[in-house]
């Protein structure tokens, strides 16, 4: 039905355009359509150019008013605040430049629309002007580069200071697994060549490595708030990308190597659920989902906010549904949870 509707709309649009062109053409018969713009064409298109400027401004304002609320809520990690700040400064610069340059471009297109007999100004060069608009971007970009690099170096400096929690993120088509270092907070050695599905050694841990015995393997990522987490990422098959948008964190998982990312979560899931933006978003989303439920659509149960880890590198058929829930909780809650989990040694079937 929708297909038919869409097609009908398309056909109608095509007919409308065709008719519009016909009318245009008939109305201009006397003027003899040579294919070259006349004064009249210049006038109409000049006005349209000016109008187009307002279309650009309009769609910008419309998008901001209507879609700002869909953006991610405040960052839930320590470095995320700095990230957001740099983002907004960059955006301020972008919108300033965009507003001015689009104005000049379209205003000139309107203002200097051609007329017969008008003389254009032969203006081929001006060293001072060119110097000005070379040096301004140089200064602005130098500032952005320095700020960006400073932030980048800090984010990417992954070290063992402040007793970080060590967590492995393990990717495979099409799910995530997390592994904690356990009591000793050290991950045991692992290799895909040691995977033994029959004995439930799904991550290929080296049983001979004493560090692996107390490792904890889980399907839900729990993080204590306020403690730095160092992620070690592995993939067993193709490229994946561990994307945690609420934490402004992302790193690819590459078969054959271990990649790293580190951040400190600052807001627990419980706290985030009370964030006004999130409350608003959940309300909005659940209104949509209630409508879907009324239509009898699947996957329309009410939603409760949770942090997620999602795959952001094309990895195959179910790439679009490769996710893991992240729960940020207090230290005590985390300790309680981790204590309940089975260690690798308890999990694995004994060798025969």
Partner 1 sequence: MSATGHEHGHEDHGHHHKETFVTKYIFSQDHKMIAKQYLITGVLIMGFIGIAMSLLFRMQLAWPGESFSVFEAFLGKWAPDGVMDADIYLGLVTMHGTIMVFFVLTAGLSGTFSNLLIPLQIGARDMASGFLNMLSFWMFFLSAVIMVISLFVEAGPAAAGWTIYPPLSALPMAQPGSGAGMTLWLVSMAIFIASSLLGSLNYIVTVLNLRTKGMSMTRLPLTIWAFFVTAVIGVISFPVLLSAALLLIMDRSFGTSFFLSDIFIQGEVLHYQGGSPVLFEHLFWFLGHPEVYIVILPAMGIVSEVMAVNARKPIFGYRAMIASILAIAFLSTIVWGHHMFISGMNPFLGSVFTFTTLLIAIPSAVKAFNWITTLWKGNLQLNPGMLFSIGMVSTFITGGLTGIILGDSTLDINVHDTYFVVAHFHLVMGISALYGLFAGVYHWFPKMFQGRMMNKNLGYVHFWITAIGSYGIFFPMHFVGMAGVPRRYYENTAFPMFDDLTNVQVLMTVFALITAAAQLVFAFNFIQSIFYGKKGSLNPWNATTLEWTAPQKHIHGNWPGAIPHVHRWAYDYSKTYENGEYILPGQDFVPQTVPLQDNEEELNH
Phi/psi for 175 (5° steps) reads -150, 170
Any contact of residue 57 with partner 1 (CB under 8 A)? no
Q: How far is the CB of 7 from partner 1 (least distance, A)?
A: 7
Residues 276-295 that bind partner 1 (CB under 8 A): 281, 284-285, 288-289
Residue closer to partner 1 (CB basis): 214 or 268: 268
The mark string for 161-200 relative to partner 1 (x by CB under 8 A, - otherwise) is -----------xx-----------------xxx-x-x---
Q: How far is the CB of 232 from partner 1 (least distance, A)?
A: 11
Q: How far is the CB of 351 from partner 1 (least distance, A)?
A: 19
**Integer angstrom CA distances of residue 199 from 132, 196, 344:** 69, 6, 11
Integer Cα distance of 81 and 67 in angstroms: 21
Any contact of residue 315 with partner 1 (CB under 8 A)? yes
Any contact of residue 316 with partner 1 (CB under 8 A)? yes
Integer Cα distance of 180 and 165 in angstroms: 8
Query: Within a 10 A sphere around the Cβ of 76, how many other Cβ atoms?
Result: 29
Any contact of residue 337 with partner 1 (CB under 8 A)? no
Residue with token string 């402004």: 248
Q: Binding segment for partner 1 among 7-15, 178-186, 213-221, 267-275 (CB under 8 A)? A: 7-15
Integer Cα distance of 190 and 217 in angstroms: 13
What are 11's two structure tokens? 């056909």
Q: Binding segment for partner 1 among 108-116, 180-188, 216-224, 264-272 (CB under 8 A)? A: 108-116
Q: Select from 324, 158, 170, 326 the least CA-distant residue to 254.
A: 170
Q: Select from 260, 267, 228 the least CA-distant residue to 81.
A: 267
Q: Select from 302, 282, 284, 305 the least CA-distant residue to 294.
A: 302
Residue closer to partner 1 (CB basis): 182 or 264: 264
Any contact of residue 138 with partner 1 (CB under 8 A)? yes
Residues 194-233 that bind partner 1 (CB under 8 A): 195, 197, 204
Contact with partner 1 (CB under 8 A) among 50, 74, 81, 151: 151
Integer Cα distance of 217 and 220 in angstroms: 9
> Length of the chain, please?
352
Residues 255-274 that bind partner 1 (CB under 8 A): 255-257, 259
């Amino acid at each position: 039905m929708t297909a038919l509707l869409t097609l009908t709309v398309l056909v109608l649009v095509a007919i409308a355009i065709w008719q519009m062109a016909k009318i245009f053409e008939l109305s201009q018969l006397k003027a003899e359509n040579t294919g070259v713009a006349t004064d009249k064409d210049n006038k109409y298109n000049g006005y349209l150019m000016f109008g187009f400027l307002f279309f650009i401004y309009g769609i910008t304002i419309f998008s901001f008013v209507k879609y700002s609320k869909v953006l991610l809520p405040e960052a839930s990690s320590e470095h995320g605040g700095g990230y957001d700040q740099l983002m907004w400064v960059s955006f301020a610069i972008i919108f300033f430049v965009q507003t001015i340059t689009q104005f000049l471009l379209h205003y000139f297109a309107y203002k200097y629309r051609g007329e017969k007999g008008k003389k254009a100004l032969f203006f081929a060069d001006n060293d001072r002007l060119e110097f000005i608009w070379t040096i301004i971007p140089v200064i602005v970009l130098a500032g952005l580069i320095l700020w960006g690099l400073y932030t980048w170096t800090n984010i990417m400096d992954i070290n063992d200071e402040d007793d970080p929690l060590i967590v492995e993120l393990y990717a495979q088509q099409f799910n995530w697994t997390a592994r904690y270092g356990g009591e000793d907070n050290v991950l045991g050695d692992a290799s895909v060549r040691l995977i033994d599905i029959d004995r439930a050694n799904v991550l290929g841990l080296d049983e001979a490595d004493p560090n692996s015995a107390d490792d904890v393997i889980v399907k839900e990522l729990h993080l204590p708030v306020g403690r730095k987490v160092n992620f070690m990422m592995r993939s067993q098959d193709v490229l994946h990308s561990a994307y945690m948008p609420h934490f402004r964190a992302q790193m690819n998982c590459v078969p054959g190597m271990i990649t790293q990312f580190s951040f400190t979560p600052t807001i627990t899931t419980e706290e985030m659920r009370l964030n006004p933006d999130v409350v608003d978003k959940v309300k909005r989303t659940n209104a949509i989902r209630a409508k879907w439920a009324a239509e009898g659509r699947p996957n329309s149960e009410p939603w409760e906010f949770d942090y997620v880890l999602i795959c952001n590198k094309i990895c195959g058929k179910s790439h679009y549904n490769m996710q893991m829930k992240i729960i940020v909780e207090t230290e005590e809650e985390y300790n309680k949870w981790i204590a309940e989990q089975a260690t690798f040694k308890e999990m694995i079937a004994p060798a025969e």
